Amino acid sequence: MAQERQVVVVTGASAGVGRAVARAYAERGAAVALLARGETGLAAAARDVRARGGEALELPVDVADAEAVREAAERAERALGPVDVWVNGAFSSVFAPFRRIAPDEFERTTAVTYLGFVNGTRAALDLMVPRDRGVVVQVGSALAYRGIPLQSAYCGAKHAIQGFTESVRCELLHEGSRVRLTMVQLPAVNTPQFDWLRNRLPRHAQPVPPIYQPEVAARAVLHAADHPRRREYWLGASTVGTILADRVASGLLDRYLARTGYASQQDDRPNDPSREGNLWWPADGPDGEDHGAHGTFDDVAHARSPQWELNVRKGRVAAAAAGVAALALGARRR
């Protein structure tokens, strides 16, 4: 980078993966603009960034508001300098069968989870394209490829983000731009979303195992931002398996998920279906509490992904394999 420090914008920075990404960049000494609705969570995220050696700028914003996102981007540049990396990660949703999701709830989920990425990408490119440098990272999901029951609004948004990102990437390539757009498809992650999303199910929602800690996702996001020529990264063996299985046996997956998808997304704790959740208002607003990066599944969440470690080290692995093969061939000839 031309600057001595990175300037990074993170949407959804108050909790979950976004919070973990902000912390990880702070450990590099980056200046991090933190975008989210929840002021309590934002303030806590800013304290995290400063405690880890970074500079923090709190920007309360609803990413569904395109003009507000544009203004936040301009404020970030005025305060911190030219933005090097923009990470889109904000979302909201409803856990329920499709027919139990009201039209306004579906529209709101789409506005935040899909159009929030569109608005963030537009704001980032408006800053980056004129100077011909910068990286946008879309925090995606295996559900961008494979829809599952009880998450029709979220899956639809993630599918939309996938198509939108591919389209914009083609346009940047056509223009010969050096601005990079990449995506990280995540597995199930232990974030607070399962405690605060609107949930119409009889029991508490849970991610479909295996579950990974948000720091695993954050490391993948930073790696993607550092190596953005690759169009997409898949994190976790479950993500790889889901995407590949959907390509070759999508009909069988429909039937399998019809049988298992309801139970696998609920744990034994009872749920109050009338609870509002954070669809319209942040759970960590002025009178709320800071939820941090982790959800309530620490006891079963994995702190590392062997698949990812092999993925990012594949050059060294391939070199080592070639060396072993060469030694074996030499031994045979002797």
Burial class (CB in 10 A: 0-12, 13-18, 19+), 201: middle
- DSSP letter assigned to residue 99: G
**What are the backbone dihedrals phi and psi of residue 211, each rounded to the nearest 5 degrees, phi first?**
-110, 140
Which residues, 6 or more positions from 324, have their beta carbon under 8 angstroms from its beta carbon? none
Find out whether 132 and 178 touch, Cβ atoms under 8 Å. Answer: yes
Does the N-terminal peptide bond of residue 97 adopt cis geometry, omega within 30 degrees of 0?
Answer: no
- Report the catalytic residues: 154
The owner of tokens 């060294």 is: 316
Cα 93 to Cα 193: distance, rounded to the nearest angstrom: 9
DSSP state of 212: E
Q: How many CA atoms lie within 13 A of 278 on its CB side?
A: 24
User: 115-128 and 66-80 are packed helices; what angle lies between their axes, rounded to 10 degrees?
Assistant: 40
CA distances from 59 to 8, 9, 85, 121 (A): 13, 10, 16, 17
Distance CA 89, CA 40 (A): 18
Q: Are 253 and 334 in contact (CB under 8 A)?
A: no
Q: What is the DSSP letter of 197?
A: S
